[in-house]
């Protein structure tokens, strides 16, 4: 009978037939993980199990070409704007995850879609390296900053494996000797000699100016709103706007103009005085004027009576009260204080008033008045 020596950890990858002694795989093998296995097989006699022997078995895992080759390291490729045709800008190499046998060869070429673009080409040096060369005279960052170059890499194992790797080529500004000076993105739009700090300062100034303009416009709008707003102390608070159109002087029912009156008078007397009332009729009892009543007291008395009378004007009318003759040189011309007869009146002083009162002096003088003599 045949047995596996279970003291070894790799025994789980293989199994052995106890009668035939055939060794078979128990799991999938990966040469890239383990290229060789070493374990022991024990053989014993059926009739006498104590008679045994041990032998070491070495299994080498053969390689299968299952991984395509790839570029060994990521490259940061750049080209000068003043590059000439045929200039080598990058040397590339390849690597294969498979444990390649001695003499493994890699080939490099452009993909079919990139072969028609006259920008760059791949030169295979046939020593597992290749060079990226320019195919045009000069490159412009303003027109195109980045170029993507697909490179196909193949190995020489069986079956042949290949992969397409894309190189990124950046256009940079260089001096006359080909030394790269700047490959930054902002350098595309900057003139020669303008640094990044200067660009930041310019942008900061622009932002500050924009903020100032926005604040100025906001303050102007706020000031305009404040001028249109009416404060509590503004006299325009007492202006009342009416949107109702009246029918003229006779239309007294269209709107109430009582609000235009003095607010204190409205609070004291709620009855409208712009229309002559028809329903309220109050009998006014006027005290008879005394003989010795002064004209000022008489007027004040009548004024008070009309103020408390709701049926009295003003209803589209105006009552004017004035004391005549106060402070005049001619004194009062009212007949209330006149003498009983004209004979008791002396008009001689009219002749002292000058030419303007000559006619009155002739009319009321001692001489008889003749209109024909008046010029």
Q: Are 92 and 130 in contact (CB under 8 A)?
A: yes
Distances (CA, A) of 273 to 276, 286, 293, 306: 7, 21, 30, 11
User: pLDDT tens digits, the chain, 375 residues: what are they?
Assistant: 998 887 655 567 889 999 999 999 988 888 888 889 988 899 999 998 889 999 999 999 988 888 899 998 888 899 999 899 999 999 999 998 886 666 788 999 999 888 888 899 999 999 999 999 999 888 988 888 999 999 999 998 888 899 999 999 999 989 888 888 888 755 444 444 556 778 888 999 999 999 999 999 998 888 776 665 555 555 555 566 556 565 555 555 555 555 555 555 555 555 555 555 555 455 555 666 565 568 888 888 888 888 887 766 555 555 565 555 556 666 655 555 555 555 556 777 777 888 888 888 888 775 544 555 555
Distance set, CA 314 to CA 63, 249, 252, 259, 282 (Å): 125, 14, 13, 15, 16
pTM score, whole prediction: 0.42
**Is the dihedral angle over the CA atoms 349, 351, 355, 360 positive or is it negative?**
positive
Q: Does domain 70-179 have CATH number 2.60.40.60?
A: yes
From residue 90, alpha-carbon distances to 121, 134, 191, 340 in Å are 11, 10, 28, 140
User: What is the location of CATH 2.60.40.60 in the chain?
Assistant: 70-179
């Amino acid at each position: 009978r045949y047995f596996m020596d279970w003291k070894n950890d790799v025994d789980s990858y293989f199994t052995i037939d106890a009668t035939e002694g055939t060794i078979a795989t128990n799991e999938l093998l990966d040469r890239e993980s383990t290229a060789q296995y070493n374990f022991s097989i024990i053989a014993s006699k059926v009739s006498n199990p104590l008679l045994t022997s041990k032998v070491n078995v070495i299994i080498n895992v053969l390689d299968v070409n299952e991984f395509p080759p790839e570029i060994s390291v990521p490259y940061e490729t750049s080209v000068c704007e003043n590059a000439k045709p045929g200039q080598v800008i990058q040397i590339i190499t390849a690597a294969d995850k498979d444990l390649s046998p001695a003499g493994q060869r890699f080939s490099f070429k452009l993909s079919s879609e990139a072969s028609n673009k006259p920008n760059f080409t791949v030169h295979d040096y046939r020593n597992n390296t290749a060079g990226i060369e320019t195919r045009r005279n000069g490159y412009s960052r303003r027109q195109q900053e980045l170029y993507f170059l697909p490179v196909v890499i193949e190995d020489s194992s069986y079956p042949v494996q290949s992969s397409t790797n894309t190189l990124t080529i950046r256009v940079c500004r260089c001096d006359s000797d080909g030394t790269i000076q700047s490959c930054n993105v902002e350098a595309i739009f900057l003139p020669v000699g303008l640094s990044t700090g200067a660009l930041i300062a310019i942008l900061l100034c622009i932002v500050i100016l924009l903020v100032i303009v926005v604040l100025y416009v906001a303050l102007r709008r706020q000031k305009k709103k404040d001028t249109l707003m009416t404060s509590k102390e503004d006299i325009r608070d007492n202006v009342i706007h009416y949107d109702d159109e009246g029918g003229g002087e006779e239309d007294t029912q269209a709107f109430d103009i009582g609000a235009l009156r003095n607010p204190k008078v409205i609070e004291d007397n709620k009855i409208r005085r712009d229309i002559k009332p028809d329903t309220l009729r109050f009998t006014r009892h006027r005290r008879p004027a005394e003989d010795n009543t002064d004209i000022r007291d008489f007027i004040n008395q009548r004024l008070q009576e009309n103020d408390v009378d709701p049926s009295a004007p003003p209803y589209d009318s105006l009552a004017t009260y004035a004391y005549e003759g106060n402070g005049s040189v001619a004194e009062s011309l009212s007949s209330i204080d006149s003498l009983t007869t004209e004979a008791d009146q002396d008009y001689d002083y009219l002749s002292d008033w000058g030419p303007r009162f000559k006619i009155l002096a002739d009319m009321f003088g001692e001489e008889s008045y003749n209109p024909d003599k008046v010029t």
